[in-house]
Amino acid sequence: MKRSVLLHNIKITLFFLTAATLLSTVFFLLSNNSANVAIVYVLATVLVARNTAGYVPGIVAAFLSVVFINFVFTYPYMALNFTLDGYPVTFLGMVIIATLTSTLTTHLKEQSRILKERERMLIEAEKEKMRANLLRAISHDLRTPLTGIIGAAESYLEQESLLSEYEKARLVETISEDAQWLLHMVENLLSVTRINNQTACVKTALEPLEEVVSSALQRFHKRLPESKVHAQIPDELIMIPMDATLIEQVLINLLENAVYHSGSEQPVSLSVTVDSRQASFHIRDYGLGFEPEALDSLFDGYALTKNHSSDSHKGMGIGLSICKTIINAHHGQIFAKNHSDGAEFTFTLPLGEYTHEPEIDSSNY
């Protein structure tokens, strides 16, 4: 046993026994009845067993208690006399109680320690799995555009004289396109660093819904100028607690996902509905919809790439798993489903207490 534990055990034992002695003395002086005294010492023994490590302190406490009761509180006072009637029974009883309590508490402590340990290991394993998935997805998604960039750049450098102007322009376009895609991915990854590692939470502030939506649309249009989006949000001013940069990222990811994977030229629709508890964002496209078997693993990080080999470098693997991470960190939910004409992503954000337009009379301020 470690010294600190031993010291702790001794301190606890002495503390409870002293307390019991003081209490018993008061009882004894007031009522002159030694029955309560035994009860008080039993209690002290139980407490000692409960609050110390191992069996020894409880048994020692029981032994000391019995000796002490005999010495102080039974006739002849201030002398030991173990020949009193029933004394061995009292002694045995106390020792058994102490041993049982010690066993039970030790057992209990051990069990809760094991439980905690197991829980920690589970979380650790889960984290490890997520990390591995993410890394796998990242390396896959990074390698594809990089291959395009390197290939295009090398063929330009090595065969410059053989290429027509048109082919050269094509190669540079490829480089530019793939580089944009890389940037998009890096921005996504960067956004995850805003989420607190330990608590998996984000710093939120009340943000007007319309500003986040409009800013996301603006950035989306900058990246994909030809794509159309129909946006519809509630008329009243809604303030939602969030990290606006991250929610903007989620919106952009989902909109781009809709554009790349719907296989349709129809405008994507973005609508937001609000009820008393949460705001729900719906991103709908009017295209192919999801493969039913892909729905379960959509947010896992590397689901989409198999079926879309023709369009492989637009794999949204990381994008969607990052969306889920971000929404989870906001205590919201995200899910995907098919509607009659295509695919729909929905995510929710819980509303704070103070979200509807506050009464501020701006003219008299």
Partner 1 sequence: MSQKLTAVIIEDEKNICRFIESVLTGESYKTVTASTGTEGLSVIASQCPDIILLDLGLPDMDGMEIIRDVRQFTHTPIIVISARTQEDEKVSALDCGADDYITKPFGTSELMARIRTALRHSHRNEKSDSMYSCGGLNIDFDRRLISLDGKEIHLTQIEYKLVSLLAKQAGKVLTYDYLMRQIWGPYSDNNNQILRVNMAHIRRKLEKNPAEPEYIFTEIGVGYRMREE
Q: How many CB atoms lie within 10 A of CB 257?
A: 23
DSSP string, 323-355: HHHHHHHTT-EEEEEEETTEEEEEEEEE--SS-
183 binds partner 1 (CB under 8 A): yes
Using the minimum distance from each CB to partner 1, give the nearer residue, 69 or 233: 233
CA distances from 46 to 12, 64, 198 (A): 12, 13, 39
Q: Pick the piece of the chain touching partner 1 (CB under 8 A) from 6-14, 100-108, 119-127, 201-209.
A: 201-209
Using the minimum distance from each CB to partner 1, give the nearer residue, 162 or 360: 360
CA distances from 261 to 181, 253, 311, 322 (A): 15, 12, 9, 17
Give the number of residues in contact with partner 1, rule: CB under 8 A. Answer: 30
Using the minimum distance from each CB to partner 1, give the nearer residue, 88 or 234: 234
Nearest to 91 by CA among 117, 109, 64: 64
Q: Pick the piece of the chain touching partner 1 (CB under 8 A) from 18-26, 117-125, 159-167, 356-364.
A: 356-364
Looking at the DSSP assignment, which residues form a beta bridge with residue 272? 281
Using the minimum distance from each CB to partner 1, give the nearer residue, 188 or 348: 188
248 binds partner 1 (CB under 8 A): yes
Site for partner 1 in 249-288 (CB under 8 A): 270
Q: Pick the piece of the chain touching partner 1 (CB under 8 A) from 23-31, 227-235, 277-285, 329-337.
A: 227-235
Sequence-ordered list of residues with C-beta below 8 angstroms from that of 256, at least 6 positions apart, any chain: 184, 220, 223, 224, 316, 319
CA distance 210 to 90: 78
CB of residue 243 to partner 1, shortest distance in Å: 9
Footprint of partner 1 on this chain (CB under 8 A)?
183, 187, 190, 206-208, 210-215, 217-218, 231-233, 235, 237, 239, 244-245, 248, 270, 357-358, 360, 362-363, 365
